[in-house]
Structure 1
Amino acid sequence: MSEQPPSRTAVRLAAELGDVTLSPLDGRYRPAVEGLLEHLSEPALNRERLRIEVAWLLHLTKRQVLPGVRRLRDEEVHRLHGIAAAFDADTVAELKDIERVTVHDVKAVEYLLKDRLRGSSLEDVAEVVHFACTSEDVNNLAYARLVQRAVREVWLPAAGGVVEQLGGMARQYRAVPMLARTHGQPATPTTMGKELAVLTHRLQRQLERVRHADYLGKINGATGTYAAHVAAVPDADWEDVARDFVEGLGLTWNPLTTQIEPHDWQAELYADVARFNRVLHNLCTDVWTYISQGYFTQVTTAGSIGSSTMPHKVNPIRFENAEANLELSNALLDSLQQTLVTSRLQRDLTDSTTQRNIGVALGHALVALDNVARGLAGLDVDTAVLDADLEGSWEVLGEAVQTVMRLHGLPNPYERLKDLTRGQRVDGPAMAEFVRGLGLPAEAEQRLLALTPQGYTGLADALVDHLEPSWHPDDDGLDALEAGD
């Protein structure tokens, strides 16, 4: 007799109670991505659609674009703003009910707003809602505003915070000498601070690109021709009306589109964020390697476990977790930028489902940033290990010696240093003996004899000063929509 399965498994029961999710962003990593919910969740999208619909109605009535449509009174303007501001859980549920009938998400928002106007003094302007609009007129503006806010208010502060943290470490360790490794082999020494400054500078450049990104928008009808607009009101300057509206939302007006705004700005933005992610990934792999070499020690918290079976271990999990999440983020960002720049003829819907994953892409990036920040905060430089590494690598001074030999015209400098150093360790006394036998001028000889691997760092310390000062994103234009124009 076969055993009957239970009517509800433990997992399904937990799911019904809200404790099970398919995405770790909605479960384990929820605290790191909480800020994105306000901008890139489905309720946030519908709220922004509602705000765009309200703003378009206000724009048309304020500018008196439509003959016979009156200017609204101040209290009516206030009431319209209140409809958008009152978007809550009940509104979310109501929209779901409407969409079950319309089977169209933007139309559901339009109907909800019109329903709010019935029975009020605004009922006579209800048909101005969504006037001459295709759904993409609302969608493209809503997404542009949401992405703009998500990047400026959530991603940029998190990314900027990590870059400032890294820059602080670069300045702190600017004079700490470290053996460099090119191709993994001992090479001309540098400083820990200078190497961190290189990564900081790279990340700063990408932040600036993202900070100055364009966010484009359009409101020009079903195929981008203002056909319905002109048919209804032929004498209006519809391009001026559209430009004024889009720019009033804090966006850049795109005058040439099909039914959709082509999304090229999104592809450009996601490419820049992905490039930032790749540089951050490079940081993670380098820091991971420095940890494995003992250059960095990891500060542990009381009660933390490094390995479930080897109590001596402290795994560099923050940087490994960051690597994985950066790779997931970039897989999505790369897909977004590749998909969004293509639309068959005047319209297809490949962008619709694609754009719903913007929050997921940025979410994994935020998880990575959170891990990098916590990982960097738990690092200390072990100067004893760095010094021992340098002390065992006197052969790296071969570059300096052969360069001085060239300056003074000594024969075969490279070849002579190659014979001395290649494939073998050279200590301080052996290097000094070699230098004394070269017949260099006394000043040059003394300078080389005084040189040590720890002191052979050139301008590394001073180069850290090329870092930009503290960086903060600006928030210009973020309140334009609330102004209702």
Structure 2
Amino acid sequence: MNLSALTAVSPIDGRYHNATNELSNFFSEFALIKYRVLVEVEYFIALCESGIPQLKHFDGSLNNKLRDIYKNFSLADAQWIKDQEKVTNHDVKAVEYFLKHEFEKLNLHDSLEFIHFGLTSQDINNTAIPYSWKEAVNQVYLPQINELTNELKELAGQWAAIPMLARTHGQPASPTRLGKEIHVFIERIEKQLTLLQQVPFSAKFGGATGNFNAHHVAYPQTDWVAFGNKFVNDSLGLSRSQTTTQIEHYDNFAASCDAFKRINNILIDLCRDMWTYISMDYFKQKITAGQIGSSAMPHKVNPIDFENAEGNLGLANALFEHLAAKLPISRLQRDLTDSTVLRNIGVPFAHTVIAIKSSLRGLRKLILNEAALQADLENNWAVVAEAIQTILRREGYPKPYEALKDLTRTNTGVSQETIATFVEGLNVSQAIKEEIKGITPSNYTGIVQ
């Protein structure tokens, strides 16, 4: 069968293709090859600018044509490299041969051996992959998570004054405001995004075992560490790890995965809360004509977007956990276990993107059922007991907590009338009684932040 959305093994490229197709620009085999070509071309240009005698005749006039090799990189170019890989059985060497082929078109016959000069394949992989990761984070993830955060801010603003019964341990607790509870998630996400953006996009660049052995033996007068730092940090916009083996440490990449995990955990918490509020009838959901909630029960409108998001976030986190735990570990100066693992970094990224989009759909379907929130508050007058006993504490009243405990721990329920009768029997001034009677489940919501 030909590959299509119906025949793809992974739902990322199948069922969810419309939600994830833009990630092909960063995590597909085509994208990986293109980023490798980009690094190789930029490395050659950097060599030309480094003062190497054999490349001094390059004055930069060909730089645009050289960069066009990766800027205009096509599927046909990628296929040329894949066909060459069948012969070489080495993916990066196939890229080198492709570039030699392209350089010959530009009559650069005397410069071919300076393509991939002194490098090992990991100098290319460990710059190309963090480069693609950085672009995916900046171009896809951050705009989408910011869109979600902005949606939450809009809802928090709309619901800022809506009182709501809080529940701690699942039981009625001191009332809060719906907008404030939404803002909890905004603050958590934004704080973790700040930490995520502090993690460098680290790269390795230093030859077969990280010491610039081949570079130094060929040109001992060149400061290759300074060259590597300038190339990786300035030309590629990454952060070069200074003392490495053949491969990048991956410690900062692991930190990035952990940051994604923490944000995803916050989103799981959000999805479960929204799901619960829907089950409590605090929210209705917008109905889309023609859509079916249950194949058996015609009345149902299920919170499937939040459920879908939760499932995808769990998958993403399982993979982020493996990436963070596995990649920083490599035998001696390098083993190959990181290679196949790195090829899958787009998978948890994709599940995260699917989840963000599902969460947004769910949030945009919500219809506030204010009557249900108000009814819940009216049915739980016992929650003002905290307020009453605190005022009585202020006034020096004897054992106020115990008095309220006896009043409110009853299976017959506590009503406004129960509270009023209790207050009238207190040995306090009329002014204090009036102060206490003014407290209701709807207005006992604390400080508006």
Identity %: 44
| Contact 1:152/1:211, CA 8 A, preserved across alignment | no
| Contact 2:258/2:320, CA 8 A, preserved across alignment | yes
Which residue is 2:199 aligned to? 213
Which of 216, 220, 228 is matched with 2:214 structurally?
Answer: 228
The structure showing larger relative contact order (alpha-carbon pairs under 8 Å, at least 6 residues apart) is: 1
Q: Distance in 2 between matches of 1:38 and 1:296?
A: 38
SS in structure 1 of the partner of residue 12 of structure 2: helix
Matched, 1:367 2:354: yes
Structure 1 residues 441 and 225 mapped into 2: Cα distance closer, same or farther (>3 Å)?
same
Matched ranges for 1:270-349 at <5 A: 270-349=257-336
Structure 1 unpaired stretches of 5+: 1-11, 464-485
Matched, 1:38 2:25: yes
Question: Deviation string for 1:299-354 (max 9, x for gaps)?
Answer: 11111111111111110000000010000000111011111110111001111111
Which of 181, 187, 192 is matched with 1:195 structurally?
Answer: 181
Which residue is 2:429 aligned to? 441
Aligned residue pair count? 447
Which residue is 1:142 aligned to? 128
Structure 1 residues 414 and 126 mapped into 2: Cα distance closer, same or farther (>3 Å)?
same
Matched ranges for 1:344-359 at <5 A: 344-359=331-346
SS in structure 1 of the partner of residue 47 of structure 2: helix
Question: Deviation string for 1:55-79 (max 9, x for gaps)?
Answer: 0000010121x22323324442222
Q: CA deviation at 1:45?
A: 0.5
Q: CA deviation at 1:442?
A: 3.0
Q: CA deviation at 1:404?
A: 0.9
Which residue is 1:483 aligned to? none
Which residue is 2:118 aligned to? 132
Question: Deviation string for 1:248-295 (max 9, x for gaps)?
Answer: 211112111110011111100010001100000000000000000000
Which residue is 2:364 aligned to? 377
| Contact 1:215/1:265, CA 8 A, preserved across alignment | yes
| Contact 1:167/1:197, CA 8 A, preserved across alignment | yes
Q: Distance in 2 between matches of 1:121 and 1:94?
A: 20
Q: Distance in 1 between matches of 2:169 and 2:90?
A: 57
Question: Deviation string for 1:373-395 (max 9, x for gaps)?
Answer: 00000001111000111001101
| Contact 2:5/2:13, CA 8 A, preserved across alignment | no
Structure 1 residues 428 and 101 mapped into 2: Cα distance closer, same or farther (>3 Å)?
same
Which of 406, 409, 434 is matched with 1:422 structurally?
Answer: 409
The residue type paired with residue 431 of structure 2 is: E
Matched ranges for 1:233-244 at <5 A: 233-244=219-230
Q: CA deviation at 1:19?
A: 3.8
Which residue is 2:92 aligned to? 106
Q: Distance in 2 between matches of 1:234 and 1:367?
A: 51
Which of 57, 60, 77 is matched with 1:71 structurally?
Answer: 57
Which of 62, 70, 91 is matched with 1:84 structurally?
Answer: 70
Q: Distance in 2 between matches of 1:190 and 1:43?
A: 51
Q: Distance in 1 between matches of 2:254 and 2:400?
A: 52
Q: Distance in 2 between matches of 1:373 and 1:44?
A: 28
Q: CA deviation at 1:444?
A: 2.4
Q: Distance in 1 between matches of 2:174 and 2:3?
A: 61
SS in structure 1 of the partner of residue 37 of structure 2: helix
Q: CA deviation at 1:441?
A: 2.9
Structure 1 residues 281 and 441 mapped into 2: Cα distance closer, same or farther (>3 Å)?
same
Higher mean alpha-carbon deviation, 36-45 vs 74-83, is at 74-83
| TM-score with structure 2 setting the length | 0.97
| TM-score with structure 1 setting the length | 0.90
SS in structure 1 of the partner of residue 67 of structure 2: helix
Q: Distance in 2 between matches of 1:334 and 1:243?
A: 30
Q: Distance in 2 between matches of 1:91 and 1:18?
A: 24
Structure 2 unpaired stretches of 5+: none
Which residue is 1:410 aligned to? 397
| Contact 1:288/1:316, CA 8 A, preserved across alignment | yes
Q: Distance in 2 between matches of 1:99 and 1:454?
A: 69
Q: Distance in 2 between matches of 1:367 and 1:275?
A: 17
Q: Distance in 2 between matches of 1:261 and 1:380?
A: 49
Structure 1 residues 442 and 17 mapped into 2: Cα distance closer, same or farther (>3 Å)?
closer
- Calculate the aligned-residue CA RMSD, in Å: 1.3
SS in structure 2 of the partner of residue 118 of structure 1: helix
Q: Distance in 2 between matches of 1:74 and 1:356?
A: 34
